[in-house]
Amino acid sequence: MKKRWFSILLAGMLLLAFVLPAAAQTDAEYLLKVNKIMGTNMGSQINGTFKLGIDGDLSVVKSVEFRIDGQAIGTADTAPFTLVFKTTSFSGGAHKLSAAVSTTDGRTLETPARTFDFISGEQAGELFSRVILPVMGIIFGVIAVMMVLQFVVFRNRPLAHIEPGAPRNYGLKGGAICSHCGRPFAIHFWAINLLPTMRYDRCDYCGKWGVQHIVSLSALRAAEQREIAAARPEVPIPEKSEEEKLKEMMDKAKYE
């Protein structure tokens, strides 16, 4: 009996997890897009300037009427059928955003409404202070700890020795040209990601840490060739003899 009730309960949980969400999905031909231009966007809580648009086949769209709480706020009759609005132009609180799409074959299709909470500038500031700042503090704290740990772990790691100009494998992460010594090296798997093309990493050759920029393979190969020129010993300029110096002085005096 217990096993039966357990089976029924499990089936119910699976129904809630899979069947009901699937049933909630819309088969509408067009969906409303809401993109931030300037302001605050914390999920359904928004403040500032936003752009409304639609997802779907735009080739058959004649015009789009954008609505808030069922009331038209503007119409776009040329592609890409967008409209800019400010939340401050409306009262605060929950609002339903939607669009009515008119097609070239005479149909009018409604997008499913999306509910957003229009918050004030003061509320946006409080939200930023309460949520964003602590998260940013945690992220920067983790990055700082990782930097310190890497410095401690790898500070005594021996430097790599490779002949200048020798081709090398830069792996899946690519390579960078050291901001200190100018030699190209492969980005390490433990490098800290700063931006899509920036890493905080340690050079294999000079051992210094720094912000390294990932560059193309052609730029890395060019840096390898520059290593050869940099490694060539400078040919000393021979010192002039006394006779050559005297002759040079006499030539100068003649022209003067």
Q: Which residues of 46-55 are buried (b: 16+ CB within 10 A; e: fewer)?
A: bbbebebbbe
Would the pTM of this model clear 0.85, i.e. be above it? Answer: no
Select from 70, 78, 63 the least CA-distant residue to 95.
Answer: 70
Question: Is 18 a residue whose pLDDT tops 60?
Answer: no
3-state secondary structure of 32: strand
Average pLDDT, the chain: 80
Specify the pLDDT at position 147.
65
Specify the pLDDT at position 247.
73
Specify the pLDDT at position 160.
73
Write the pLDDT tens digit of every residue in 158-199: 667 788 888 889 988 899 999 888 999 999 888 888 888 898
Q: pLDDT band for position 150 (50/70/90)?
A: low
Report the half-sphere exposure of 62 (CA within 13 A, side-chain side): 9
3-state secondary structure of 31: strand
Got the DSSP string for 49-93?
EEEEEEES-GGGEEEEEEEETTEEEEEE-STT--EEEEGGGS-SE
For 121-216, strand residue ranges (E) read 175-177, 184-186, 192-195, 198-202, 209-215
Report the half-sphere exposure of 215 (CA within 13 A, side-chain side): 18
The answer to whether the beta carbons of residues 186 and 146 sit under 8 Å apart is no
Specify the pLDDT at position 22.
41
Specify the pLDDT at position 95.
94
Specify the pLDDT at position 163.
83
Average of per-residue pLDDT across 55-78: 93
Question: Is 36 a residue whose pLDDT tops 50?
Answer: yes
Higher pLDDT, 195 or 61: 61
Pull the structure tokens for residue 72: 């038209």
Q: pLDDT band for position 12 (50/70/90)?
A: low
Number of C-beta neighbours around residue 237 at 10 A: 6
Average of per-residue pLDDT across 87-103: 92
Residue type present at position 57: D
Pull the structure tokens for residue 52: 């409304």
Pull the structure tokens for residue 206: 């000079």
Residues 6 or more apart from 17 whose CB is under 8 A from it? none
β-bridge partners, 221: none
Q: Indicate the fold that domain 27-119 takes in CATH.
A: Immunoglobulin-like (2.60.40)
Residue type present at position 151: F
